Chains A and B, each alone.
Chain A
Amino acid sequence: MSKLSLVGIAGLALVAAVPAIAADLPAEMPVKSTFVQRFTWTGCYIGMHAGGGWAHNTVTDPVLLVQDNVNLGGPGFTTVVPNTFDVSQSGVVVGGQLGCDYQTPSNFVIGIEGAASGSTMKGTRNIPLPDSPPDTALLTIKTDFMPAVTGRIGYAFDTWLFYGKGGVAWASSKYSLAGNFSGAGAIVPSIPFDFEGLSNRVGWTVGAGIEWAFAPDWSARLEYDYYDFGTHVATMNDVANGPGPLSFKTTMQMVKLGVNFHVWGWQ
């Protein structure tokens, strides 16, 4: 006998037995869904993620910052302006997220999420000081913290969710421009400089991902996010030589693998 036939006979037997069973049941059955029932993404979740991040910075004008400093080359020392350099960053991203979703009867899912990531994203570039050869300045950019608040919309195929997201993001970065200035050999010994800067930047983010509910309370997801933080002018301060401006135009990308624990949903 085929398995299908067995299922059919069992089904008939259940139908036939319903009145007898129903007579023994309490007036209201306890509602406790199981994973074999249709999954719903309605509910809230808390989780963690890890992945990789890459950033691209366009920096203007580190040469001017150093060479025209009053204690180094002095105003007007730089002969060609502006000087723009690209600096790439890369590193590991680890963080957590908290969000809530609502699944419509037509299986669309809308939600809101707050997330925060720590990062080791770092990039360096050695920048020549053209009016003071062979001096160079080492530019270092580190980004260590990125919170975001996003909305997401997606479509659910039972335990699978395909979604896009977008919202506001912040990034906390630290900048350093350090080296020695010799005035093309005119200053002996050369003057050390170390300009330090900080920024808390606001930008926008969009992304897309796929999430799979692999257990009654758990889901895993793979997500790509793009960030644009626009252009920011940071104050770079050297305790010995004084402050100056440096402009950063920054975009970022991240690929994150996450896991979420779902609460208050189908319980």
Chain B
Amino acid sequence: MRRDRSDRSLRNFRFAFAFAEIILLGAWLTIGLTRSALALPSFARQTGQPCGTCHTSFPGLTPFGRRFKLLGYTTGGGLYKTTPFSNNAGPNEAYASLRNYATSVDGDGAAGQRAWVPPISMMAIVGFTHTQADLTPPTSPYKPNNNTVLTPFSGFWGGAITSNIGAFVQVTYNAPAPLSALTGTPADQFIHTWTWDNTDFRFANTARIGSLDLIYGITANNNPTVQDVWNTTPAWTFPFAVSNLAATPAAKTIIEGAFAAHVGGVGGYALLNDMLYLEVTGYQTLRFGQQNSLGLDPFATPGLFSGVAPYWRVAFEPNWGPHTFMVGTYGMIFAINPWFDSTFTQGSTATLAQSNRFTDIGFDSQYQYQGSNYWVTLRANYIREFQRLDAGFATGSSNPTDLLNTLRLTGEVTFGGNNRFALSGQYFKVWGTSDPLLYAAPTFANNSPNSDGWIAELDYIPFGLSRAPGWPWFNAKLGLQYIHYNKFNGTTLGAQDNNTVFLHAWFAM
């Protein structure tokens, strides 16, 4: 039986790598035959533009938004001076392309005339949550249902530091979960409300090697996929705002945020001819004390990494006219030493000597069409996780190996002045191997991690128009979101009790 699983896993690996090789070969042939001028059509806007230039339904990115991020958040062109430093010209050629386009579109021409202003911003989401069934008691400090909560509230540094170095740094307040979420163990003392959140420091530059235009850079970040520029990968995927009170499926692959902000990673990336994106990054978990000091609950993760966890990303994004298409793969290998005393009853922060190994392989695709006054975006993301549970077998899991899969298929239409309206829908599914210990009651039913359902969301951005009141200092998004579950944590029985209406106002300042 174990041999069968092993053979199947090997076949899956071979298939995955063969697929990646085909993508790489095809991409290499294509970019080699492509003229660089055609490879840069998306360098078509620049900062100083309305939100809709970078975002379809924020934080979803347009092609320009992706290039802005790849250039290290450093592209200037707005009214204010981009950085406090002026001794480095930065990737001038790439910037010039952006500025030329922006001048022709918006005709501002006043770039950098005013003094430098620190790129500090704030964000707040106020949301009303209604779930089909009441919350599990005790619900304090909330009502059993129909609650309005301000969460999250974030402060940001988002922008250039020098002409080649930029950063996206987020500090967030998350309102506490209801009392019922506390375990009553000493580990509860590590639950915090303020935490460092998504962080991404970048160095970026451009070069030309033969016929290849190149954007290359270094990223130092704290969340695998936070550095990614497509909204298919977990860190920035739809739904962009969710209720803090509604239950969500408990089973997720590790790469879907299990170690978000609990790790530090450094890697290199390159975009060749505005078409082929390559990245390799290595991550290591922060120490227990470091995590706690940064407002993170270390025991909320499965443990600490044993060595460096490699992350890879390959994406091929040809574009023609108003069409942009991406197909890619990404993944990560985690060797995790589980906590020895996850309830902190014995006061130990040690981990077991043996590790569990998780190999997450993702395949994703995105198609974006820019119409005269609208965008159509289709996204697909599939992650297959191979779990080898050497440390957890017989104590934390019934099987020595398990499989877990997640699938998200998303469609989004934004229209009106600078994407004033957005209509989004998603089908999601989680499924995997039955495991009585890993997927035990009361969280799961039938020893199964399976869940699936639908999300529909309508968004309205009242200040989305170019040069709207508040620009470029304030914006808002009003969203009405509905989540419907067909199956929840292994059962269809009572799955709809978790159906959620989330009406929210998202303020960005």
Contacts and interface: CB of A to CB of B under 8 A. Distances in A.
Interface of A: 44, 46, 48, 96, 98, 116, 118, 144-145, 147, 170, 172, 174, 194, 196-200, 217, 234-235, 237-240, 243, 261, 263-264
B493 interface: no
A95 B361 CA distance: 40
Interface string B143-170: 0000001100101000000000000000
Nearest to B155: A96
A44 B473 CA distance: 10
Contacts of B155: 96
A217 B183 CA distance: 50
Contact of A237 (B117, B122, B142, B182): B182
Given A145-B193, A172-B193, A200-B141, A239 B182 contact: yes
A145 B153 contact: yes
Contacts of A240: 184
Interface residues of B, number: 28
Given A118-B173, A144-B194, A145-B173, A196 B122 contact: no
Closest A-B pairs by Cβ, 8 of them: A239-B184, A235-B140, A198-B141, A200-B141, A237-B179, A96-B122, A199-B141, A144-B193
B502 to A, nearest CB: 18
Nearest to B122: A96
Contacts of A197: 140-141, 179
Contacts of B294: none
Contacts of B153: 116, 145, 147
A44 B182 CA distance: 42
B175 A46 contact: no
A198 B509 contact: no
A239 B186 CA distance: 12
B138 A237 contact: yes
A86 B141 CA distance: 22
A174 B182 CA distance: 12
Given A98-B474, A196-B182, A237-B140, 12 more contacts: A96-B509, A147-B153, A172-B141, A196-B188, A197-B141, A198-B176, A199-B140, A200-B141, A200-B175, A217-B117, A261-B117, A264-B473
10 contacts: A46-B122, A116-B173, A172-B175, A172-B176, A196-B179, A198-B140, A200-B149, A237-B138, A243-B138, A264-B473
Contacts of B120: 48
A44 B472 CA distance: 12
Contacts of B179: 196-198, 235, 237
A237 B179 CA distance: 7
Given A46-B473, A116-B153, A198-B179, A144 B117 contact: no
Contacts of A145: 153, 173, 175, 193-194
B124 interface: yes
Nearest to A261: B117
Contact of A217 (B115, B149, B185, B194): B115
B140 A234 contact: yes
Interface in B173-201: 173, 175-176, 178-179, 182-185, 188, 193-194
A122 to B, nearest CB: 13
A46 B473 CA distance: 8
A29 to B, nearest CB: 18
Contacts of B141: 172, 197-200, 234
A63 B142 CA distance: 25
Contacts of A196: 179, 182, 184, 188
Contacts of A170: 150
Nearest to A198: B141
Nearest to B173: A145
Nearest to A197: B140
A93 to B, nearest CB: 12
Contacts of A239: 182-185
Nearest to B191: A174
Contacts of B184: 194, 196, 238-240
Interface string B268-308: 00000000000000000000000000000000000000000
Nearest to A216: B115
A259 B155 CA distance: 15
Contacts of A174: 176
Nearest to B189: A176
Contacts of A217: 115, 117
Contacts of A234: 140-141
A118 B182 contact: no
Contacts of A147: 150, 153
B173 A144 contact: yes
Nearest to A98: B509
B144 to A, nearest CB: 12
Contacts of A48: 120
Contacts of B150: 147, 170
B509 A46 contact: yes
A145 B153 CA distance: 10
A144 B195 CA distance: 12
Nearest to A199: B141
Contact of B473 (A172, A200, A263): A263
B342 to A, nearest CB: 16
Contacts of B194: 118, 144-145
A235 to B, nearest CB: 4
A235 B193 contact: no
A186 B179 CA distance: 31
